[in-house]
Chain A
Amino acid sequence: MIELVANAFIEPLRQTFFQKALIGGSIAAVVCSVVGCLVILRRMAFLGDALSHAMIAGVAGGYLFMKVLFDIEAHAPAMLVGSLIATVITVTSIGFVSRVSRLKDDTAIGIMYTGVFAAGVVLVSIFRNYIHIDLMHFIMGDVLGVADHDLWAAGLAASVVLSTIILFFRQFQLTSFDPVMAAAIGMPVVAIEYALTTCVSLVVVSAVSMVGVILVVGLLITPAATAYLLSDRLDRMMALSAVFGVSSVVGGLYLCMWLDSSGGGAIMLFCTFQFLVVLVIAPRYGLLARWLRLRRMVPQQLIEDILGAVVRGEGAPLPLDKVAAFVQGEARGLGRVVGAMERDGLLHSTPEGLTLTPAGVREAGRVLRAHRLWETYLQHVGMPPNELHKKAHALEHVHDEESVEYLDDLLGRPRLDPHDALIPDDYAAFAPDSVRSISMLRKGARAVIESMDPQATSVGLAVGDEITIGPASDDDTGWNVTRSDGAEFSLDHRAADAIRVRFKSYKDDA
């Protein structure tokens, strides 16, 4: 048994064609994967596809050129140069079309590469009596038929490309991450762009003979994408990507021997399989990790409902079953959520029930404020009273500062909601030293008067006075203010609007 398995691995290694396929494939895979990292970060994947298709015209052109002028069949260097020329023409014309027309890049790429590809196909078929190129060879690739000159070409391309990328790593990194800064410190951004495109052309040309036109873009981007899911640094991403590229070639070649399948197909199949596995299990950016995170994540809505329930108990501990009744229907995982809120310092859990910490009170005040303002607003726009609470309960989760401020402004800064409950002020949003009107402060706020409009001077307060906001007047329409020397003043809404103070703190959290 063991012998059988060992044989399955060792037997192919004895064959020259398999050795060449391994070596050639690995070289091509390493450069493809490394360059591929820059390709996917620059969102140029489509370009790789375009270049590989354009090549066919170049190969045909190179073949024909040597055949007609020198009567040499299938001259490899000429075909290589031809493909490079074809890719350069494609790239330039893509840039040209998207610059001078209103077409976007992706459309320009689609048009130009299919055009050049078609030219190649037509060329090959017209001269089929002269050009002995097997179109299928190009489209599907022939990794098991790698010839020595293919190896040399791949090796040469690899060393040029790899040394360029290693030498100019910082340049490639900065231009792909922040081209504006690259230009500002004097990097030749355009030249670097061309260098990268040339590198892509080189690796594509050297890999096409092995995996074929259709699959080469996969070899360019799939190992890079796999590595992208696992790395937080570009240099590591490149190294990992190269590893994945080589493992695809090795795994794919064995697959192809065992199943007697197409070489290029098996390589890409293995490569895609690797990607899918990593996509699922990658520790940080994988699906599994994402799913776990989502599961661990506590729904904000539930947190706010719990805060709302406890704060309405006016400081008395609220038993867990009451909380469950309040948040009805959403009680799934209540214990877990309470635990998380305790860890976040929002509440204390005691045997008698839940109580809020100062931070919890603040957070709850925010939700309550939003709830009561929404309720007032809904009444204002004419919603029947019996529907107010339910709708407001849903809307209270819209409580970003700006929206709530808007409601507050619109409604004339009310103090009471339709059920005559006090609307908490937005002290959650108050920073010490922010300047507000007195009308925006609630009981217990301490502040220093900054300025006042003329209509408020009759009240008797002066700029620089230190005040504490006292309990509201009996009918809840005005503000009572105590000065630091003990003197008391009562202000109506207009006066409270007209006096601006620098907020200091709330008595209870000073």
Chain B
Amino acid sequence: MAAERVNHPAIDVENLTVSFGSKPALLDVSITIEAGLAVGVIGPNGAGKSTLIKAILGFVKPDFGKVRILGIPADQARGLVAYVPQRGAVDWDYPITVEEVAMMGRYGHIPWWKDPGLEDKEQVQNALKMVRMSEFRHRQIGRLSGGQQQRVFMARALAQGADVLLLDEPFAGVDAATERAILDVLDRAKRAGRTLVVVHHDLATAAEYFDFLILIKQRLFAYGRPELVLNPELLSEVYEGRLRVFADLSGARASR
């Protein structure tokens, strides 16, 4: 199985169109992401970034097109993809503890008639240790800081042991130190050969964090190396001249 997968790209999106009602959220998007890359997804609000993530997860059904994970159609690729949801998509008042959320990463591996085994528990503890959340494991998730909450979901993704990790705006609303901590975890996941797809809102750091960037607004505007994607003309077309973004960006780039 593993040998077979090597020849397939991690994620292969082909002519994907997803719509809610008459207006498509994604239109004719085709991307091939090779295994082992860290890819950033950028685009303005409502561009369809989250929708792309959900399509790769097989949660939204495409109107047209195909998504394959390591060569397997997305709706059959159970558990090959792990996912860290956007902050706003989580019910933080849900009665659930840090440890239980991390354990959800193992649910795909536990047959329905069984309880979590020793190995599952070990994996969960390891994942929590990796994101340095072990001491909070009995805490309800609403009673954590924004950065800690992100790390809980990172732990869940790690515990799942998936080859492909999708993260929806993991850096939104976290402080600089937490951003570092999350980057560290991402780095380690990448070195372990995992493929990362990260929705990112900060153009200034996008080039530094990712190997490749996807620029999207309903359609795919660019996919490639950051220096090619972060092209002022392209950006002003997609972001419709919101100038502050570019001022920051040119400052950050000139400094490099």
Contacts and interface: CB of A to CB of B under 8 A. Distances in A.
The reply to whether chain A is a binding partner of chain B is yes
Interface of A: 41, 167-168, 170-171, 173-174, 176-181, 183-187, 228, 231-234, 236-237, 431, 435, 437, 450-451, 453, 500
B20 interface: no
Q: Which of B83, B107, B176 has the most CB of A within 10 A?
A: B107
A177 B104 CA distance: 10
A179 B91 CA distance: 12
B100 interface: yes
A232 B140 contact: yes
Interface string B99-120: 0100010011010110000000
A494 to B, nearest CB: 15
Contact of A184 (B83, B94, B97, B251): B83
Interface residues of B, number: 34
A231 B95 contact: yes
Specify which of B78, B90, B139, B255 lies most central, judged by the most chain A CB atoms within 10 Å of its CB.
B255
B158 to A, nearest CB: 14
Contacts of B104: 173-174, 177-178, 181
Instruction: List the 6 shortest-distance A-B pairs measured between CB atoms, nearest first.
Output: A186-B78, A185-B108, A232-B140, A184-B57, A435-B255, A183-B59
Given A171-B112, A237-B95, A184 B90 contact: no
B97 A232 contact: yes
Contacts of A185: 78-79, 107-108, 160
A233 B255 contact: no
Interface in B39-73: 54, 57-59
B254 interface: yes
Given A186-B79, A233-B95, A233-B97, A170 B58 contact: no
A201 B213 CA distance: 49
14 contacts: A41-B95, A177-B96, A178-B104, A180-B85, A184-B57, A184-B78, A184-B82, A184-B83, A185-B79, A185-B107, A232-B95, A232-B140, A431-B176, A451-B256
Contacts of B83: 180-181, 184
Nearest to B168: A180
Contacts of A228: 95
Interface string B228-256: 00000000000000000000000110111
B112 A167 contact: yes
A234 B78 contact: no
Contacts of A435: 251-252, 255
Given A183-B58, A232-B140, A170 B95 contact: no
Contact of A170 (B81, B85, B112, B254): B112
Contacts of B156: 181
Contact of A451 (B54, B57, B113, B255): B255
A174 to B, nearest CB: 6
Nearest to B247: A409
Contacts of B97: 232-233
Nearest to A185: B108
Contacts of A171: 112
Contacts of B81: 184
Given A233-B96, A234-B95, A234-B96, A180 B107 contact: no
Contacts of B95: 41, 228, 231-234, 236-237
Given A178-B85, A431-B176, 9 more contacts: A170-B107, A183-B58, A184-B57, A186-B78, A233-B97, A234-B94, A234-B95, A451-B256, A500-B255
A451 B255 CA distance: 6
Nearest to A168: B112
Contacts of A232: 95-97, 139-140
A500 B176 CA distance: 20
Contacts of A450: 255
A495 B139 CA distance: 52
Given A170-B112, A184-B57, A185-B108, A177 B78 contact: no
Contacts of A437: 251
A171 to B, nearest CB: 7
A184 B58 contact: yes
Nearest to A453: B254
Contacts of B54: 180
Contact of A178 (B79, B90, B113): B90
A396 B82 CA distance: 44
Nearest to A102: B21
Contacts of B85: 178, 180-181
Nearest to A238: B95
Looking at A170, A236, A500, which has the most chain B CB atoms within 10 Å of its CB? Answer: A170
In the complex, which of the residues B54, B100, B113 has the most CB atoms of chain A within 10 Å of its own CB atom? B100
A500 B256 CA distance: 10
Nearest to B69: A184
